[in-house]
Amino acid sequence: MSSTFQIDTATSRANPTPAPMRRLTIPAIRQRKVDGVTAEPVVMLTAYTARQAQLLDAHCDLLLVGDSLGQVIYGLPSSVPVTLDMMVAHGAAVVRGSWHAAVIVDMPFGTYEQSPQQAFESAARLLKETGCAGVKLEGGVAMAETVNFLIQRGIPVMGHIGLTPQAVNVLGGYGARGRSEAEAAKIIDDAKALSDAGAFSIVVEGVIEPLAVAVTQAVPCPVIGIGGSAQCDGQVLVTEDMLGMFERVPRFVKRYEDIATTISGAAARYAAEVRERSFPGVEQTYQPKAPK
């Protein structure tokens, strides 16, 4: 079976059900784009837990263990405080819970910017301790040397340009990027530098739509949009945003469900039944066995 880790089915409700199929590979994702055209768009969603990975896996080509888990899971104000230990723990859980999609793990702020050597040590730990297929890092021209350094040493890299959340303190917020000609030109240069360095794919986030289209047309590798354009080679969203788990979401998010209301309603019904002593009932309790 293709699941990287096996869990005892008799003892764990979190057991992934391995399927008789090969996990998608990084070359297979890269080869989706032929002569500048991606006939089948790449589907990517974030995942942070084994159970979440189980539910998403069959529908996705890529599962991203994003450093957005800082806000989504830990309630942090940004992704900047996220640690490598956090990414290792959640990355391993997602790999255990999946068997079809290729799993990509974000490299958190401060674990790769200092030097290519630092980046290799961090990325190697992520691959060894999670079983993931590749890593994602933010930055364009400035990170091209590092991207090439990692790829030459056997570590697939996905780039991330445009609105780069780890650089929120420099950017001054989460507004759309590429509105000026100079900034748009820089973002295209960033994409080309990452592609030339060997990135197998590039996420372009929070840019005006014409720029997202231009970036997609400028490089031979698949460009994954988030707040970009349907004309990108694929799309990614934070799963909790897409499911309606939060009251406020970025403009570019479409809510496909209202899971927050469902959870809150279920908790309210449970609380009411506990307080009126109608739960647990006969169906949820162990009764004495009838004498033989």
**pLDDT tens track for 206-253:** 999 999 999 999 999 999 999 999 999 999 999 999 999 999 888 899
Q: Is the peptide bond before 280 cis (omega within 30 degrees of 0)?
A: yes
- 290 part of a folded domain: no
Question: CA 224, CA 44: separation in Å to the nearest integer?
Answer: 8
Look at residue 230 and tell me if it is in a domain: yes
259 falls within a domain: no
Residue 5 has pLDDT above 50, yes or no: no
Give the closest residue to 227 by CA, choosing from 245, 193, 253, 201. Answer: 253
Which ranges constitute the DSSP H helices of the chain?
26-30, 50-57, 69-72, 84-96, 116-130, 144-152, 168-171, 181-197, 209-218, 239-242, 259-275
Distance CA 88, CA 241 (A): 23
Which amino acid is located at 214 in the chain? A
Residue identified by tokens 């980046």 is 119
Give residue 20's pLDDT.
53
- Torsion angle of the four alpha carbons 249, 251, 257, 258, in this order, in degrees rounded to the nearest 10: 40
181 is known as an active-site residue: no
CATH number of the domain residue 218 falls in? 3.20.20.60
- Give binding residues for Mg(2+) as ranges: 67, 106, 138
> pLDDT tier at 32 (50, 70, 90 boundaries)?
very high
Tally of domains in the chain: 1
Inter-CA distances, 259 with 246, 264, 277, Å: 9, 8, 27
The strand pairing partners of 224, in sequence order, are: 203, 234
**Under a CB-based contact definition with an 8 Å cutoff, are residues 63 and 44 in contact?**
yes
**Catalytic hit among 145, 205, 247, 283:** 205
| Inter-residue contact 202 to 190 (CB < 8 Å) | no
Annotated binding site: which residue ranges? 67-68, 106, 136, 138
Binding annotation for 3-methyl-2-oxobutanoate: 67-68, 106, 136
Q: Is 287 within the bounds of a domain?
A: no
Buried b (16+ CB within 10 A) or exposed e, 70-103: bbbeeebebbbebebebbbebbbbbbbbbbbbbb
* pLDDT over 60 at 69, yes or no: yes
Q: Domain span at residue 139?
A: 26-242
Tally of CB atoms within 10 A around 29: 27
Q: Is residue 3 part of a domain?
A: no
- Residue 220 CB contacts under 8 Å (≥ 6 apart), including other chains: 33, 36, 195
Q: Residue 267: inside a domain, yes or no? A: no
Confidence (pTM)? 0.91
pLDDT, average across residues 254-277: 98
Q: Which pLDDT band, with edges at 50, 70 and 90, does 3 fall under?
A: very low
Percent of the chain exceeding pLDDT 90 equals: 85
Domain assignment present for residue 18? The answer is: no
Q: What angle do CA 67, 73, 76 make, to 5 degrees?
A: 70
Token pair of 286 as six digits: 């162990």
Please check whether residue 30 lies inside any domain of the structure: yes
